[in-house]
Amino acid sequence: MRKNKELITLIVPCFNEQESLPKFYQEANKITKRMSSVDFEFLFINDGSKDNTINLIKELSKKDKRVRYISFSRNFGKEAAMYAGLENSKGDYVAIMDADLQDPPEMIEKMYEIIKKEEFDCVALYTSSHKDYSFLRKLFTNMWYKLIGIISSTKQVAGARDFRLMNRKMVDSIINMEEYNRYSKGIFSFVGFETKWIDYEAPDRVAGKSKFDFIKLFKYALEGILAFSTTPLIISAFVGILFCLIAFITIVIIIIKTLIYGDPVGGWPSLACIIIFVSGVQLFFLGIIGMYLSKTYLEVKKRPIYIVKETEESNK
């Protein structure tokens, strides 16, 4: 028998979200009631929370049969949580949303309408204002998007959030990208498909604190570059050629000067500076090669992206 209602999966990665979770469920539930022409499933991913998050999810799952969950054995990061959600989603359409209500559930209604009427594969949201960012975070974010725009052929929309509604085809193609070092914003763009972008102002977190500090964000930005550009390696090769060229020209000049003027050997301080400078440049590019190598090493090992401790099935 053909089912007549379409199913939307709401994937919600949660890491220490005991304050936000009840509020999220309350708001999301209102929308699911309003959108009676579709069925919903909630798929909470407990990413190794140390607070009461898992118990709250279990309670929800007991009283609402639409609530499913996957609980990780430890914290694997939001990227792993999103992947686990996509892999285990059953919906014809799948949305990824934060638990802190920065991705307002009421947007789902509009996103679903667009995806159906305008025949897009994906409706995604971005924020252009970043009003909650500090001056430095805004500066670095803008610089990063400019840089990645230049050095990567995978298009990145500035201010893109992970909040998006995708159809099954797009979800399946993302699941097929099984890389260990995951940078989803790049992966979403890499798989292609028609995406409609909507600008919206992300509200403040409803409760709790952001899980991303400066160091985590820096690592995430670096991940984006290493995963979607090899330009740094090409630059290192070009710098190498440039330095060889400079060395060749200087050698020719020194030989000619010595032949004409018979200069005695001198200038060791400048020589010392050159040696230090060149070694610095070499170490810098060795570091860049090392970063790519370390990512390759992790890919080759084929470690699991996440490890499941329990799901709603385990309690049946």
- Residues 19, 41, 98, 121: which binds ligand UDP (CB under 6 A)? 98
Contact 84, 307 (CB under 8 A): no
Q: Which does 17 bind (CB under 5 to 8 A by kind): ligand UDP, Mg ion, none?
A: ligand UDP
Considering the complex, state which of residue 17 and residue 39 has its C-beta at the smaller distance from ligand UDP.
Answer: 17
Rounded distance between C-alpha atoms, residue 155 and residue 272, angstroms:
44
Site residues (vs Mg ion, CB under 5 A): 98, 100, 102
Which residues on adjacent β-strands are paired with residue 123? 165, 196
CB-nearer residue toward ligand UDP: 100 or 121? 100
Distance CA 215, CA 228 (A): 20
Residue 157 CB, nearest approach to ligand UDP (Å):
16
Q: Does 105 bind ligand UDP (CB under 6 A)?
A: no
Q: What is the DSSP string of 238-270?
A: HHHHHHHHHHHHHHHHHHHHHHHH-PPS--HHH
- Closest approach of Cβ 100 to ligand UDP, in Å? 5
Residue 168 C-beta: closest distance to ligand UDP, Å: 23
Can you tell me the distance from the alpha carbon of 59 to that of 72, in angstroms, rounded to the nearest whole number? 17
Nearer to Mg ion, 41 or 98 (CB): 98
Q: Which of 18, 77, 148, 226 binds ligand UDP (CB under 6 A)?
A: 77
Token pair listed for 133: 């960012």
* C-alpha–C-alpha distance, residues 21 and 206, integer Å: 10
Q: In what order do the strands lie in the sheet with 93-96?
A: 195-199, 122-126, 160-167, 93-96, 6-14, 38-46, 67-72, 308-311
For residue 72, what are the contacts with CB-CB under 8 A and spacing of at least 6?
45, 46, 47, 48, 80, 81, 84, 306, 307, 308, 309
Cα 281 from Cα 173, distance rounded (Å): 40
212 binds, among ligand UDP, Mg ion, none (CB under 5 to 8 A by kind): ligand UDP
Residue 102 is a binding residue for ligand UDP (CB under 6 A): yes
The site that binds ligand UDP (CB under 6 A) totals a number of residues, namely: 17
**Site string (183-222) toward ligand UDP, x via CB under 6 A:** ----------------------x----xxx----------
Pick one of ligand UDP, Mg ion, none as the site partner of residue 75 (Cβ within 5 to 8 A by kind): ligand UDP
Q: Report the amino acid identity of residue 93.
A: Y
Q: Is 160 in the site for ligand UDP (CB under 6 A)?
A: no
The site for ligand UDP (CB under 6 A) is made up of 13-15, 17, 47, 75, 77-78, 81, 98-100, 102, 205, 210-212
